Amino acid sequence: MSSASKASTAPSSQALPRSRFEMVEVTARLCQRLGMPKSTGQIYGLLFLSVHPLSLEEIAEALGLSKASASTGTRHLIGWHAIRQVWKPGDRKDYYEVQADLGDVLRANYLGFFKPKLDAASRKLVVLQELLDADLQSGAIQNEEHTVGRERLQSIARMHSRIQKVLPFAEKLL
């Protein structure tokens, strides 16, 4: 990517007050480290210090993003309960504001995504062990394969058990 195209996707330090510019940069880097798009972090950072809800066009312009990138980023953030869509009476545009209480964001993602995945993993471990045992009995695998598979599944089950023991404490913190 050329430096000219990089500059066009970065917020201008002249367009944003320094505090907002730094917030945008910090959240962009954090999202990148977590494997998420940089633009998603930029949008969150912009909205986090914004006094008023911003339209998609305002977000795209302030950050130097395409409207498509801004739209994708806002959809991701809505899905993570990090921002919410709001409407202004008499205006057909959609506006977005940050969910400022990070505890609410963490709670919503924990209850809506993380906890159900852990519960499903628990059930899947039982099914995998049953399949492994059935494969041994049917002759589809040998004792050595069964032993290795069983040990590895037990290792996952122990880690899962540790996580399950910590969850009540984590839930109290949220």
* Per-residue pLDDT tens digits for 17-30: 899 999 999 999 99
Residues 77, 164: Cα–Cα separation, whole Å: 27
pLDDT at 42: 97
pLDDT at 13 over 70: no
Give the model confidence (pLDDT) of 124-153 as tens digits.
999 999 999 999 999 999 999 999 999 999
Res 6 pLDDT > 50: no
pLDDT at 2 exceeding the cut of 50: no
Q: Are 111 and 81 in contact (CB under 8 A)?
A: no
- pLDDT one-digit tens code per residue, 49-100: 999 999 999 999 999 999 999 999 999 999 988 999 999 888 989 999 999 8
pTM score, whole prediction? 0.66
* Residues 165/173, Cβ–Cβ less than 8 Å: no
Do 59 and 46 touch, CB atoms closer than 8 A? yes
pLDDT band, residue 4 (cuts 50/70/90): very low
For residue range 87-119, what is the model confidence (pLDDT) as tens digits?
A: 988 898 999 999 988 888 888 878 877 788 888
pLDDT of 157-174, one tens digit each?
A: 999 988 888 877 777 776
CA dihedral of residues 150, 155, 159, 161 (deg, nearest 10): 40
Angle at 105 between CA 102 and CA 108, to 5 degrees: 150
The label of the residue with tokens 């940069």 reads 25
Instruction: Please report which confidence band the pLDDT of residue 47 belongs to, taking 50, 70 and 90 as the band edges.
Output: very high
pLDDT at 10: 52
pLDDT at 5 over 70: no
Bridge partners (DSSP) listed for residue 96: 54, 85
